Amino acid sequence: MAHLAQLRALIDELVAAVTSIPETQHERRDACREYVLRSLRHHTFTRTNQFEVQDRLNGLEERFCVVGRDALGEALRKRLDALEPHRTQTTPEVLHLLLELADQPVQKSKLSD
Amino acid sequence: MPPNERAEKQAAAQQAVDILHEIATILNCHLDRRTLSICISMIENGVNPEALANVIKELRKHGQEAQLEAAAAASSRRR
């Protein structure tokens, strides 16, 4: 885990970007920052399994096609292929984050977005 | 690192973020580019992605509450 000062700086940015809590509500902002710091330092999640991430993405691509949203499946495959040359050690973890944040993409995603 | 090499690396990193942002859009993650960049930096610094996802979901709820309160306070001031 990053040096605490570095992590705190990133947490400040994250809280500002995600919550848009006005500066006037500084107590609430501070509470959010502390909550984030605690949650990120003391959690019980295991490390990302890159093969599981790959399986989930393949499954999603397949589901897009099964429900007749082939264009979305193709768009996803095209981006995953384009990402290959840029792959780093943390790419599976970033993709894991995106899978966790995915909000019913099979039903709600629009290609026009 | 020579400036040219640094610029090339930066451009490649930007391209990777662009692709990841497109994937985030396809997955309907509700993440803008800035937030995604912050998340990538956090993960590169050792933050667990699942813990981060939970935190983001929770922060979104806090943000909505704060905005509702701010709106309520503003409307009571107008009365």
ipTM of the complex: 0.92
Inter-chain residue contact A39 with B44, CB threshold 8 Å? no
Mean pLDDT across A98-108: 95
When CB atoms are compared, the residue of A10, A43, A101 closest to B41 is: A10
CA nearest to A52, candidates A6, A96, A22: A96
- How far does the CA of residue B43 sit from the closest CA of chain A (Å)? 7
Phi/psi at A76 (5° precision): -65, -45
pLDDT (tens digit per residue) in A11-69: 999 999 999 887 778 888 999 999 999 999 999 999 999 999 999 999 999 999 999 99
- pTM recorded for the entire structure: 0.91
When CB atoms are compared, the residue of A2, A35, A101 closest to B53 is: A101
Q: What is the pLDDT of residue B79?
A: 64
Give how far Cα A106 sits from Cα of A1, A25, B62, Å: 34, 37, 27
pLDDT (tens digit per residue) in B13-43: 899 999 999 999 999 999 999 999 999 999 9
